[in-house]
Amino acid sequence: MSATPWQIGDVPGPKQAHILRPEVFPKIVKTLKRPLIVVGSRKEVSEDKDIANNIVIMAKSMNSPLVVSPSIFKSFMKFKDVKVVCMGIEDLVNHLKEKEWKGFDDKGNYDSILFVGGVYYFQSQMLSTLKHFAPHLKTFSMDRFYHPNAEFSFENMSEVRWVQEFKGMIEMIKSSSVS
């Protein structure tokens, strides 16, 4: 299966992301032992309360901390029942690429990084760093843009469809985590 990068020229080379179907992701979630969700600075994500709420629900269901890009941290600091860390994304990625990093709980590095809400071209480059220098990590792009530098990425989709799919996916993750 192939897809074209959201930014048409963002073609990295022979290794491009597998397309991730929202309905399949809840099954994958069960295989992730130490996930980390990274929320970028795109205002469309932080300013939409539903999306922000859904991201937090996802984090809780997956037992994942949230790392939030500093400019949108204020939108997330009110959520008390999930660990929210305010950190520059480049700084974070620099830590993640070290296999032996202890993580935010001193229990070691994470095994899977889920990106959402990043500025497209910035996030693409962060994913590229992890693709090349962090073979110990699986990377997922949960945005509505196909990110070829991730290991798994949603395909390009409209905002309306993405909001629907994302919500549906969260429901599935939530219910499967409860069961």
Partner 1 sequence: MTTKLSIKELESSFAKIKGLELLIGKIVEEEWDEIVGPTPYPSITDLRAWDHRLLQRYEPFYSPFCDMCCLCTFGKCDLTKGKKGSCGIDIRSQQGKIVLIACLMGAACHATHARHIVNYLIEKKGRDYPIHLGEEIELEAPLIRLVAGIKPKKLGDLEEVLDYIERQITHLLSATATGQEESYIDFESKALHAGMVDNVALEVADIAQISALRFPKGDPDAPLVDLGMGVIDKTKPVILCVGHNVAPGSEIINYLEQSGIYGSVEVAGICCTAHDLTRYSTGAKIVGPLSRQLIFVRSGVADVIILDQECIRTDIIDEAKKVGTRVITTIDQVCAGLPDMTKSPIESIIKELVSGSFPAVLIHDPAKAGEVAVKVALEIAPSRRAKIISDEQEVLDAVLRCKDCGRCRRNCPIDLSIDEAVYASHEKNFGLLAQIYDQCLLCGRCESECPEHIPIVSAIRVAAMEKIRNEKYKVRSGRGPIKDTEIRKVGRPIVMGEIPGVIAFVGCANYPNGNKELVEMADEFAKRRYIVVASGCAAMDIARYKDEDGQTLYEKYAGDFDAGCILNTGSCVSNAHIIGAAVKIANIFAKRRLRGNFEEIADYILNRIGAVAIAWGAQHQKAASIATGANRLGIPVILGPQGVKYRRAYLGRADKKENWTVYNVRTGKEVYAGPAPEHLLYVTESKEEAIVTAARLVMRPNDTSKGRMIKLSHYIDLHQKLYGIIPEDLHLFVRTEADLPLTMKDQLLKVLKKRGWEPMELPDPTLLERQIIRRE
Q: For binding to partner 1 (CB under 8 A), which residues are involved?
A: 6-9, 12-15, 40-41, 69-71, 73-74, 77, 85-86, 88-91, 93-95, 118-122, 125-126, 128-129, 131-133, 135
Q: Which is nearer to partner 1, 24 or 77 (CB)?
A: 77
- Sheet strand arrangement including 112-116: 18-19, 152-153, 138-141, 112-116, 35-39, 66-68, 84-86
CB of 75 to partner 1, least distance (A): 9
Residue with tokens 């932080």: 46
CB of 179 to partner 1, least distance (A): 36
Minimum CB distance to partner 1 smaller for 99 or for 132 = 132
C-alpha to C-alpha distance for 7 and 92, rounded to whole angstroms: 24
Nearer to partner 1, 6 or 166 (CB): 6
Rounded CA separation 107/22 (Å): 29
- Closest approach of partner 1 to the CB of residue 175, in Å: 33
In one-letter notation, the amino acid at residue 156 is N
